[in-house]
Amino acid sequence: MTTHCIIMPLYNDWSSAGILIRKIDQQVASWQGNISVVLVNDGSQEQMPSTHEWIGDCDFIEHICVIDLVCNMGHQRAIAVGLAYAHNLGGFDSVFIMDSDGEDPPHELNDLHRSGRDNPGAIITADRASRSEGPLFRFWYWCYKLLFFLLTGTQIRFGNFSHIPAHQLDRLVHYPDLWNSLSGTLKRSGLPIKGIPSHRGMRYVGPSKMNFNGLVIHGMSAIAVLKEAVMVRLMIMAALVWIGAALLWAIVAVAGYGPWRSWLALLALFGLQTHVVLAMILFTHLNRRAHALQGPAMFWQQYVRAIHSLK
């Protein structure tokens, strides 16, 4: 019999989480395994309701617990703590990560579970085939994906909704970048990833809490994980600018087009300065690799206030 853990970060979303847990209980009925749900309470201001009124009776979920963090640390760090907790607890064949508000449809857990069985060595991600937000949000999300591709040279189609086998979890929780972004860390890690199509659901209670500022922070956090690739690509772009401008300056000088020479010289100088500054930043960052960095597996406990077992 297999054992699985479903990790859900939560911030003031108790009502949605209760509905979601009941729906998950219906979906995992055919899994023939032990299912645990771990809610990571990211410093919620709202008090947790009583278990009976909030969740009710679950027939197929064996264990439910709530991890109270010492403060509001943000969605990604709450996920990192949840993953480190599951890794420390041990005994799971795989872990699932999903939002607690219903935007990650519970019926798609079956698709992730099935794909995980068919691809035992891979991390299964839910690649967004459609989204439920308005056109403005979708536009900015498209801009984020385009910027991610331009700066890193790789595409990103997934978020947090995923399935991670236990042997890959052991590696993942030792990546320091996991504090910043799960999706960015998966991209950087080189671990095998297989995506399946997913359709964004609707929140069970209240409007979406993801605003423009949150989207920018989320996107920049993922890009920051791949900072070495970003700086190298920016250096290449800057080099193309100053080399191209210098060549054009030489051509213009030979041809005798005087008015353009000063502008091209300034452009070449700007590109060269940018190239040098980026190189210095990259060297400084690479030098910091001499310092040992620790992933969530090493010190997640210091961010936990209490752990409550609800079932």
The 3-state DSSP class for residue 230 equals helix
Residue 272 above 90 pLDDT?
A: no
Q: Are strands 94-97 and 2-10 parallel, antiparallel or unpaired?
A: parallel
| Residue of 221, 214, 216 lying closest to 180 (CA atoms) | 221
Q: What is the pLDDT of residue 133?
A: 65
Q: What is the pLDDT of residues 218-267, one digit of tens each?
A: 788 888 888 888 888 888 888 888 888 888 777 777 666 667 777 777 88
Q: What is the pLDDT of residue 217?
A: 81
CB of 97 within 8 A of CB of 108? no
Contacts of 53 (CB under 8 A, 6+ apart): none
Residue 287 above 90 pLDDT?
A: no
More confident residue, 214 or 10: 10
d(CA 135, CA 164): 31
Q: What is the pLDDT of residues 31-41, one digit of tens each?
A: 888 999 999 99
Question: Which phi and psi (to 5°) does residue 161 adopt?
Answer: -65, 110
The first and second tokens of residue 174, run together, are 């030792």
Q: What is the pLDDT of residue 255?
A: 66
The 3-state DSSP class for residue 297 equals helix
Contacts of 18 (CB under 8 A, 6+ apart): 49, 54, 55, 56
Residue 156 above 80 pLDDT?
A: yes
Residue 46 — very low, low, confident or very high, per pLDDT cuts 50/70/90? confident
Q: What is the pLDDT of residue 142?
A: 83
